[in-house]
Structure 1
């Protein structure tokens, strides 16, 4: 069976076929034909003097945008539709139980002209594996039991258990393909990749400069002649740089200052619905949250629409007490949206044997921008349901080490993850070290295991839909809203359809955007 991509609704529909060739998905038509040329400057947050181009050290910032979106390729990439599609891989073949994954490589050269081979792929993955590595991708690859080459152009991955989302793992921003040394280790120091640009300059925490390659294997990508990424961590300084023309693109426009950019001629906002969300976890093993009716009372006592409007200033969507938003492949759009309803909150209090409720909610500006304001809004809406929410504003310094995971009721933030399994496994599985609500639901955990190995897209959609409902109706987290990703750019910069998995077009703006 051959399909075009791993689309938003899953893949491998209705089959246990042993082989599947994955081709390129059709691209959305842009408003105009892209053209080559021009030098673009990007004002970027997250840079530090400690930055390196070692992919094991990546946490975000200009290094990731430069290396993921410019210098290197992955075996798989996430496109503008949210699909995982072959990139440096040409075909992807899973076994029927999703435990063996075979990647056939396309012909592509590194920046020095040498062909990329299976040896380079193996070195790139093994760099993040083993006891000694401190890579952020180590946990993602813990189930990989073996990687082997079958000639120069085929790589086979063996997993301890089936994982239908393994192509999404291969698209992780740490897992860039770089050249191998003779001894099989990764030569990341070379700064070489198979992407559309070469790395010409890197001054950590200051600037990165890239130059377009004329021999890039993607003929419809990498349009700029030169790209310069400047570290500008302060959001006000970043916006000023865009307004004054010092840079052409910036990432991460704060919602509180969006209106200022909207009024500027020649400036355009780039905004997409993202997966970032703001949970209020309640420890399900601590009173009074052990009673599901108490949890439901609190969930009905929060005014989600008001919170989106006042905290996110309209730049987001209401949440439904589960972490899977519209940006995900298996988002359950048919699940009834929970609304603010003081009467239902009172009903559930009575079901719990209570006439009123008094709880303390710990928060901090460290949780997310606007967290304290959100807590106060919750306090006001809950009061109308006979619930007293005592807002305790904690110091920003040490909030994540002293409050989060320790407080029975606090506020947090998650940027989301590429797949439902990834998000659920990290935060909602009973055995997860980051199970912030201490929630345990046997049905949920059973579905989580089953869905991970299921290759039928319709069945997976049904499973993940039920898991979203279980989180909503039994889970220990109130999730009132999802925020958008907002970037800014000069009107002279153009782009096609936008990815919504991260800012800057899924960190791919360098490759996908062009100059008018």
Structure 2
């Protein structure tokens, strides 16, 4: 039997790479987490993937789950979180927006806190041997809240919107293999890039291999909206909250409250909470903790590093921590003076003492970063030689750059979190001996996000994503909407495309050496740290697990009242 015809016990086709992946796990060339992640992306069920790993690693049969408490029905979960706009999910640029939405509208896939991607609105998927063709079988029997049946037309409509430059979705950076260049230098979806096989099957035809398609479909702006969204009615979810999820929108006011109410029978099984309330307590992190302490809320979306001690002193409070690839970057717009000068950018990054910034700004709760936006927890991470602060190198680069000293530059940063300001205050001290004067311009969060992709120098927070190539495709590939630095390097684009398309775990990691080194050498970002993140609940909240991207998965959360 040919490799491409391998079948599992149920008769389902198994991707021909699975035997090689099993061998790599056995030899220690990939770890358990990467094995589970890759096997499930290639269409193996999570249960089967865990069983394979257990057998290979000699873990024996899966132990029976410890008896769990019986969930209680009813109650309202109140969460302290910013309540933001809720118009077009394809254009969301904050995780909080998606949390307001994800109990109403849903995704084709779901990535858990264990980094394993599982089916959701898609019942299953299958990848071709060359990873250019992806076939998604959709769940049947799902009804939209307006009574329409969920089907392939909904999926096609969403892809068409994501890849329409007029919509302005960041998702365009994730599905490059479905795009073609236009005569005016822009991009659009290729004819035939998505095929309607039948009512409940769609097939993607990519021009280049791509492994992470199922993971990309749980990126927070890839929520699936109804096929009439933006066609039969206004593209505004707050005004037209049609969804497949278990909750409906009961009340919504930006900056105040988002109230979700259970809407009856749900295709995905029983959910326990009657309502979910998001209550906006403002940007002050201490206000969120105060709301928890006073009993105003049961859950805090994020606990700032400065407020951890306060949470630990609240009777009945539970602190939740996740190790993540969340970060912040001091990014230079390479098209704007003085950062259009490579040697100036290289001098800036040479001045950073990453460990000192981590200790001062984030109490050491995380890891140092390396100016290429790929984290050690990303499975494809390649370890480059460590970075050290080199003041003499910075001075020499500035002398070679031809600029007059001292250089005075301003960095814009939003005031959403205190650690941003602390990091840049420390960096300012580190830059000064080289002749670079850094002025800090703290801005209200909303004002910063008006200029984040235009300002010559800005400090931008980036959320966790399960793959390094995923965030690089979103933020550093030429021409994508979230390329805030204006960076464009064909050599980098080609190396990134090659790494993104490589199935073999060991080979893909080796290819990342060039990707990371190019970005690091081009000195686009001074990136101080990777951070652990924290949320908090009262002890009556059960079944909750913090997600590294702060995605709320409340379907099985319940209250022990």
Q: CA deviation at 1:51?
A: 3.3
Distance 1:20 1:241, change over 3 A: closer
CA distance in 2, matches of 1:209, 1:97: 43
How far did residue 74 of structure 1 move? 1.4
Structure 2 matches for 1:278-427, cutoff 5 A?
Answer: 278-282=328-332, 290=341, 298-332=348-382, 334-339=383-388, 341=389, 344-347=390-393, 349-350=395-396, 358-366=406-414, 369-370=417-418, 371-382=420-431, 386-394=433-441, 396=443, 405-407=454-456, 411-415=459-463, 417=465, 419-427=467-475
- 2:558 is matched with 514
The TM-score normalised by the length of structure 1 is: 0.79
**Any stretches of 5+ residues in structure 2 without a counterpart?**
1-13, 23-31, 51-61, 180-188
Deviations, residues 57-105 of structure 1 (Å, cap 9, x unaligned): 644466522432x233311111222233322212212234433321012
Alpha carbons of structure 1 residues 31 and 514: separation in structure 2 relative to 1, 3 Å: farther
d(CA) in 1 for partners of 2:294, 2:198: 54
The equivalent residue for 2:111 is 78
Is the partner of 1:507 in helix, strand or coil? coil
C-alpha spacing 1:479/1:175, structure 2 compared with 1 (3 Å): closer
CA pair 106-440 structure 1, distance change in 2 beyond 3 A: closer
Question: Aligned partners of 1:380 and 1:299: how far apart in 2?
Answer: 13
RMSD, matched Cα: 4.1
Alpha-carbon distance in 1 for matches of 2:104, 2:364: 36
Q: Which residue of 2 aligns with 1:23?
A: 45
| Range 118-127 or range 131-140, more displaced | 131-140
TM-score normalised according to structure 2 size: 0.74
Matched, 1:152 2:205: no
Q: CA offset at residue 426 of structure 1?
A: 3.6
Name 1:103's counterpart in structure 2. 136
Task: Give 1:111 shift.
Answer: 6.0
Q: Secondary structure at the match of 1:156?
A: strand
Structure 1 position 488, deviation (Å): 1.7
What is residue 47 of structure 1 aligned with on the other side?
83
For residues 170 and 452 of structure 2, what CA distance do their matches in structure 1 show?
23
In structure 2, distance between residues paired with 1:45 and 1:218: 27
Q: Which has the higher helix share?
A: 2
Q: Is the 8 A contact 1:368 1:412 kept in 2?
A: no
Task: Look up the SS of the partner of 2:307 in the other structure.
Answer: helix
Q: Is the 8 A contact 1:283 1:476 kept in 2?
A: yes
- The range that moved more, 434-443 or 206-215, is 434-443
2:523 is aligned with 1:475: yes
Shift of 1:32: 6.8
Partner SS state of residue 110, structure 1: coil
**What's the offset of the Cα at 1:251?**
0.8
Inter-partner Cα distance in structure 1 for 2:81 and 2:368: 27
Residues 306-347 of structure 1: CA deviation (Å, up to 9, x unaligned): 222222234433211121224433233x334324x4xx4325
Relative to structure 1, is the Cα distance of residues 138 and 402 closer, same or farther in structure 2, using a 3 angstrom cutoff?
A: closer
Whether the 8 Å contact between 1:451 and 1:463 is mirrored in structure 2 is yes
Q: Corresponding residue for 2:5?
A: none
The answer to whether the aligner puts 1:429 opposite 2:477 as a matched pair is: yes
For residues 341-375 of structure 1, what are the alpha-carbon distances to aligned partners after superposition, in whole Å with 9 as ceiling and x for unaligned?
A: 4xx43256457767997443422442763444333
Taking a change above 3 Å as real, the CA distance of residues 280 and 215 of structure 1, as seen in their structure-2 partners, is closer
Following the alignment from structure 1 to structure 2, what is the Cα–Cα distance between the partners of residues 166 and 493?
33
Q: Residue 233 of structure 1: CA displacement?
A: 3.1
SS of 2:203 mapped into structure 1: strand
Q: Is the 8 A contact 1:93 1:102 kept in 2?
A: yes
Q: 2:510 aligns with which of 462, 465, 485?
A: 462
- Report what 1:258 is aligned to: 308
> 1:33 corresponds to which residue?
68
Other structure's SS at 2:414 match: coil
Deviation at 1:495, TM superposition (A): 3.5
Deviation at 1:424, TM superposition (A): 1.8
Structure with larger RCO (C-alpha < 8 A, sep 6+) = 1
Query: Aligned residues, how many?
Result: 493
Residue 125 of structure 1: how far off its partner (Å): 3.6
Whole-angstrom distance in 2 between the partners of 1:12 and 1:454? 14
In structure 2, relative to structure 1, the CA distance for the partners of 1:357 and 1:484 (3 Å cut) is farther
Q: Which moved more, 1:298-307 or 1:364-373?
A: 364-373
**Partner SS state of residue 177, structure 1:** coil
Alignment-derived partner of residue 494 in structure 2: 446
Report the 3-state secondary structure (helix = DSSP H, G, I; strand = E; otherwise coil) of the residue aligned with 2:462. Answer: coil
Give SS of 2:123's match: strand
Match of 2:547 in 1: 499
Conservation of the 8 A alpha-carbon contact between 1:35 and 1:514: no
